[in-house]
Structure formats: structure tokens, C-alpha cells
Amino acid sequence: MRHQNRVKKMNRTKSHRKALFMNLANALFDHESIKTTNPKAMELKKVAEKLITLAKKKDLHSLRLAFAFLRDKEIVRKLFSDIGDRYAAINGGYTRVVKIGLRKGDAAPMAIIELTQKKEPEKETEKKAKAKPKKETKAPKVAKEPKEKKEKAPAKKKAAAKEAPGEEKPKRTRKPKAEKKAEEPKAEE
């Protein structure tokens, strides 16, 4: 009999299972739709719906409970400010699980879990209004030619003047080490 056997253990220890659902819940609230195996998605649905219910309460105790589970300030902030507001008028049914077939490698049943209410994309006019205007300078600056260019130009002319148009520079050849040692004068002690 399965009396009061509500938690699917998923062949993991309690700490591993808690870490798994913490990571999946963070990904779900961050991306608002994730692809995972069907059993994980069904268990994640229970966790995510409880967290969204906490976010709808908007009190300090609920915020601390959500943070104790998720352990990510940005995700908790998004959950309480954005996602909680979207579902304020709805009681339950915050997520949906859509089965998408079997995984190619091991034939595991796959599913997409997503939030039922997606964030509405902002209109272009609102984006432009929110964009910060560029700072204008008081007086336009006059572009000056860098000193490096002035110095390099005469150097090129000098190098061109040294080389005659028809002449080529002789190529340097390396002397063997034995010849170098013979040419160097020995230091007197």
C-alpha cells in the first residue's frame, strides 16, 4: 500500500533531490520555460506552484521561506516583483507540463514545463522612452593630429632617402658560433 507516500524519491537522496529541485525551480523562474524529463517536470510543478503562492503573499516571512529554498537573490526578486504580480488574481494553475516525446539517447519521456502567463513584451515606444538620452558636450572638440604621425612621417622619408630606388640592401648572414668566439677578444685577468 502507498499510504502517505507522496514524495517521489527519483532514486536520489533527500539532499540531492532538494538541490535538483532548487536548480530546476531557479531555471524555471529565470527562463519561464524549461525542457526536462516528465517525472522531474511533474514533481517540479508541485514545488513551483508552492513558491508562486508564497510570492503572492508578499510578506517578509514568505520572502525568507522562498529564499531559503531558492538561494538566489535575483530569482527571488523576480519571483516576488514580477511573477507574483502576474498571478495575483489566479488561484492555482500557474504552470503547465507539455509532453514532447522520447529522448533520442535513452528514450526517457521528455516534457516542457512553463509558466502559464508569459511576460508581455514591451512596445518599442516604451523601450525608447526608457532608454537614457546620450549626454551632449558643451563645445565640440577640435580633432588634433597626433604627434606620433608627425614624427613618423619624416622618419619614413629619411629611410626612403637612404635607399636608392634601384639598390637593394644586402641580406645579413649569421656567422657560425666558432667564428664568433674566435673574433671576440678574450678578457685579461
C-alpha distance across the termini of the chain, in Å: 102
Strands 95-102 and 33-37: unpaired
Measured CA to CA in angstroms, residue 64 lies from 80, 84, 88, 124, 183 at distances of 11, 15, 19, 36, 83
Is the distance from CB of 100 to CB of 33 less than 8 angstroms?
Answer: no
SS3 category, 34: strand
Low-confidence residues in the chain, pLDDT < 50: none
Close Cβ partners of 70 (under 8 Å, ≥ 6 residues apart) = 22, 25, 26, 29, 51, 76, 79
Q: What is the pLDDT of residues 121-165, one digit of tens each?
A: 776 656 566 665 555 556 556 666 555 555 555 555 555 555 555
What CATH number is given for 14-118 in this structure?
A: 3.90.1030.10
Domain boundaries, the chain: 14-118
pTM confidence score: 0.64
